Amino acid sequence: MATKIGTRGSKLALKQVDIVVEELGISDYEVVVIKTEGDRRSEEGKTQFDKLNFVEAIENKLIAGDIDIAVHSAKDMPAKDNPKLKKFLFE
């Protein structure tokens, strides 16, 4: 069964998925592109919003079991971690 990897649809986010699957040795995977509230607000030209807007929808899919892994940019991570999730990072 393919590992479902949730991420935003930006070029950077999709490149980061490539890095994650290579680092973790995942060969069978499906990229699940998730449009976040941050994406919607950016498209509307809004600039004032919380970083949580870029990760919340993806993290909710992870908690619900709709995806197996969530990939975020560190720049999009809010200061406070979701206590229901564990995180790790690649440099």
Q: Domain of 48: which CATH number?
A: 3.40.190.10
For 63, the enclosing helix (H) or strand (E) is helix 52-64
* Other beta carbons less than 10 A from residue 53's beta carbon: 18
pLDDT at 72 over 90: no
Residue 90 within any structural domain of the chain:
no
Average pLDDT, the chain: 87
Residue 85 within any structural domain of the chain:
no
Query: Is 11:29 a contact under the CB 8 Å cutoff?
Result: no
pLDDT at 49 over 80: no
Structural domain of 14 = 3-76
> What is the pLDDT confidence band of residue 19, given thresholds at 50, 70 and 90?
very high
Residue 87 within any structural domain of the chain:
no
In the structure encoding, which two tokens stand for residue 10, read together? 């930006």
The total domain count for the chain is 1
Residue 63 within any structural domain of the chain:
yes
Residue 12 within any structural domain of the chain:
yes
Residue 81 within any structural domain of the chain:
no
CA nearest to 56, candidates 32, 77, 30, 26: 77
pTM: 0.85
